Structure 1
Amino acid sequence: MLKALFSTAALAILFSTAAQAAEPGVTVTTPCPFGDCKAAIELSFAGEYTIPTGTLFDGVEFGGLSGIDYDPVRNRYIAISDDRSERAPARFYELSIEATAAGITDVKVVKTVTLKDRNGEAFAAKSVDPESIRLAKDGIYWSSEGDVKQLLPPFVRVASLDGAFLREFELPKAFLPTADKSAGIRDNLAFEGLATLPGGDLMVEVESALFQDGPISGLGRGTLARMIRYDAATGKRQAEYVYPIAPIPQAPTVEKGYNDNGASEILGLDDHRLLVVERGFAQGFGNSIKVFMVDTEGATDVSAIPSLANADAGIVPVRKAQVLDMQAIGLKSDNIEAVTFAKGTDGSDLLVFASDNNFSKEQKTQFIAFKVLRRP
């Protein structure tokens, strides 16, 4: 395994490129998602770029990317690491990515920014679990999954560009962790996705069902995850919707192996349509990455419903349609947990994904780019 140490931010991280099974230029078209032809989307695979686990930047292992967003003003990306302040203080990176409709040719780490707590200090080890990040007009929105074992609640906070705490969004009581696990978030399945919407709202999605909302996905059973709609300016909840997560798509191929499926990230298209990444995994098989378009128009506001599993009235979930299956186009994807729209250096409109390598030698940090030919 290659390792590198760079003392200046302008140098590129050492990288490796892997052979691609998917052919650049392969196009995926969904002309009428959930019967809505105004929501047509068309993507063309551009290419991928990988960074091996173990690569260092300024003496700290690079990896754990769980969220990414694009800054069009500076033509830079911000990417958050889900390291729980164990290898280094909780942080996000500023990246320079050379990407065009022809592929990704370079990824550089420009700098590391330490996230600060309410007291202006770096987070202590295991006191935070960063997961998603979005750039907005008033700062950087980022989420933490919390920790059920420690009864640490999840949160969405706003930070300045230098990582300083500015404010925090309100947390509905239903999401608070409980010692008896009768309600609230599940460990490692909480605030995994953030999406800023053009009208000024922020969407937050849990990775899987809250305890009171039923069991998580199984091989023959899907589950219901909540999406919170916030007024981003005030941090106040406006509504909650139900997103139906699919059953686990693949059984493990090893004896007593592990498998799962959940929503690993969301991305805004307009004020009511979003993309949702579902990331499935099965030991011995690998990852299954599918992208869905959803529409919140007409969906039931479930913010006043304490339990989706025991709801008295009927619930209408968000509309949902698959728009991409990475495996189906021959793309061997890693643990995709991050996605953003971006502008390529050639002016192309791009959709860029990134993977969380879990700091594992068996995984890698992978960037995947698609050219966006059509979108709502």
Structure 2
Amino acid sequence: MRLSTSITAVAAMSVAMTMGTALAQGATHSDSPASSAASRDCSDLVRIRAFSDDLDKKTLDGVFVGNMSALAVDRGGRITAVSDESYLYSLKVRETGRALRAEAVAVAPLTDLNGAAPDSEGLAVDRDGSRLISSETEPSVTRYDRDGKAVEALPVPAALAVAPTGRAVRNQTFEGLTLQTGGRTLVASMEGSLSGDETGVVRLQTWHRAGLSEPFKTGAQYGYQADQGLGVVELAPAGDGRLLVLERGFTLGVGNTVRLYLADPRRADDVSGTENLTSGGAARLASKTLLADLADCPTLGATAEQPQPNPLLDNIEGLAVTGRTITGRVKILLVSDDNERDTQITRLYSLDVRLPR
């Protein structure tokens, strides 16, 4: 999503573990006592391993490499990325020791079932290699084959459509998308609140299928309280039914706020039939735990093209789980959306997270 000047997916765990091996040949090295020193800690739970600007302002086959809004682990250990300018990228991402290297190796245009270019924001790779991509225009979730051809559209509850058809605000709909571990439950996050809901309380929509070859059907909906001035921009599975949630905002002259949370919808109420959702209402929202404010990460020598609380930060929008370290920490990869502007950067970040019980 393109931020205004005001504050404003993952395949099965077995595939993610494969990616974890490819991304971190130096897993043992990065889990050593020396490398787990406070100089790499963003918090007690999150540690940054490396960052890379390799993709910034590059082109591939005449197409700009950027505007990236989502990441997912693909077959063979590649990373698939999607841009909100309707392109699908295949990336080679490799981490050796403390160096993170990235290269775009393939690109394909995206159109929806009507032949229109979607505002692609969320991405998950299914077990058959097809891509599930959310667009925040309508909003929609569309399945694409590996070549980027639209195959089917999933059903979306009417209330989540953009007004006046539904109750959603334009540019504040399906920003995040992920498959839970096991592949039977798909989750999309609304970036902003519906009309009639309390500001900051957003909805997480699920789809469920009985078997991996069965179609997805609309499932439960959960409420989630975002921090004041922030929106939910991405989700990823924690592996046990909980979700990693990326919240982000922007303040002109100050920069980005980016926080990583662990949310637990397992004991939350299904709010699909709740007309007006509030933080203090009868419906129980998904609980959340702050893992890290990324402004507290070490800079690692990064520079920024505009004011930021930490020069490491930019418009971070994509999140994928890539595996686990040998000590059981969850490895994640983040990407920033440069909006094709000179004042922003396409930057990748590798971090690992110790999940609290």
Q: How does the TM-score come out when normalised to structure 2?
A: 0.78
Residue 340 of structure 1 corresponds to: 320
Residue 339 of structure 2 corresponds to: 358
Secondary structure at 2:347's aligned position in 1?
strand
Residue 205 of structure 2 corresponds to: 228
Q: Is the 8 A contact 1:99 1:345 kept in 2?
A: no
Q: 1:303 and 1:362, CA in 2 relative to 1: closer, same or farther beyond 3 A?
A: same
Structure 1 position 188 matched with structure 2 position 171: yes
- Report deviation, 1:280: 1.7
State the alpha-carbon separation in 1 of the partners of residues 95 and 158 from structure 2: 42
Q: Is the 8 A contact 2:42 2:294 kept in 1?
A: no
Residue 145 of structure 1 corresponds to: 136
Structure 1 residue corresponding to 2:108, chosen from 113, 130, 149:
113
Residue 170 of structure 1 corresponds to: 155
Q: Is the 8 A contact 2:241 2:266 kept in 1?
A: yes
Residue 323 of structure 1 corresponds to: 291
Q: Is the 8 A contact 2:39 2:298 kept in 1?
A: no
- Report deviation, 1:114: 2.1
State the alpha-carbon separation in 2 of the partners of residues 101 and 237 from structure 1: 43
Structure 1 position 207 matched with structure 2 position 207: no
Q: RMSD over aligned Cα, in angstroms?
A: 2.8
Residue 68 of structure 1 corresponds to: 71
Q: Is the 8 A contact 2:69 2:81 kept in 1?
A: yes
Q: 1:349 and 1:209, CA in 2 relative to 1: closer, same or farther beyond 3 A?
A: closer
Greater relative CO, 1 or 2 (CA 8 Å, sep 6+): 2
Secondary structure at 1:96's aligned position in 2?
strand
Structure 1 residue corresponding to 2:51, chosen from 48, 51, 56:
48
- Report deviation, 1:374: 5.8
State the alpha-carbon separation in 2 of the partners of residues 310 and 207 from structure 1: 16
Residue 79 of structure 2 corresponds to: 77
Which amino acid is 1:323 matched to? L
Residue 243 of structure 1 corresponds to: 224
State the alpha-carbon separation in 2 of the partners of residues 344 and 201 from structure 1: 21
Structure 1 position 131 matched with structure 2 position 133: no
State the alpha-carbon separation in 1 of the partners of residues 350 and 252 from structure 2: 26
Give deviations 1:258-286, integer Å, cap 9, x for gaps: xxx21110111135200100112111111
State the alpha-carbon separation in 2 of the partners of residues 243 and 310 from structure 1: 8
State the alpha-carbon separation in 2 of the partners of residues 241 and 58 from structure 1: 42
Residue 9 of structure 1 corresponds to: none
Q: Is the 8 A contact 1:190 1:208 kept in 2?
A: yes
Structure 1 position 292 matched with structure 2 position 261: yes
Structure 2 residue corresponding to 1:91, chosen from 83, 87, 91:
87
- Report deviation, 1:92: 0.7
State the alpha-carbon separation in 2 of the partners of residues 92 and 52 from structure 1: 14
Which amino acid is 1:141 matched to? L
Secondary structure at 1:74's aligned position in 2?
helix
Residue 25 of structure 2 corresponds to: none
Residue 4 of structure 2 corresponds to: none
Task: Structure 2: give runs of 5+ residues left out of the alignment.
Answer: 1-36, 300-311
State the alpha-carbon separation in 2 of the partners of residues 66 and 206 from structure 1: 14
State the alpha-carbon separation in 1 of the partners of residues 242 and 193 from structure 2: 21
State the alpha-carbon separation in 2 of the partners of residues 246 and 374 from structure 1: 20
Residue 98 of structure 2 corresponds to: 102
Q: 1:134 and 1:304, CA in 2 relative to 1: closer, same or farther beyond 3 A?
A: same
Q: 1:51 and 1:212, CA in 2 relative to 1: closer, same or farther beyond 3 A?
A: farther
Residue 8 of structure 2 corresponds to: none
Structure 1 residue corresponding to 2:145, chosen from 129, 150, 160:
160
Q: Is the 8 A contact 1:133 1:141 kept in 2?
A: yes
1:22-61 pair list within 5 angstroms: 26-28=40-42, 42-51=45-54, 54-61=57-64
Which amino acid is 1:118 matched to? L
State the alpha-carbon separation in 2 of the partners of residues 317 and 373 from structure 1: 23
State the alpha-carbon separation in 2 of the partners of residues 103 and 308 from structure 1: 45
**Structure 1, 95-104 or 317-326: larger mean CA deviation:** 95-104
Which amino acid is 1:333 matched to? L
Q: 1:110 and 1:159, CA in 2 relative to 1: closer, same or farther beyond 3 A?
A: same
Q: How does the TM-score come out when normalised to structure 1?
A: 0.74
- Report deviation, 1:346: 11
Secondary structure at 2:178's aligned position in 1?
strand
- Report deviation, 1:43: 3.3
The sequence identity of aligned pairs, in percent, is: 25
Q: Is the 8 A contact 2:163 2:170 kept in 1?
A: no
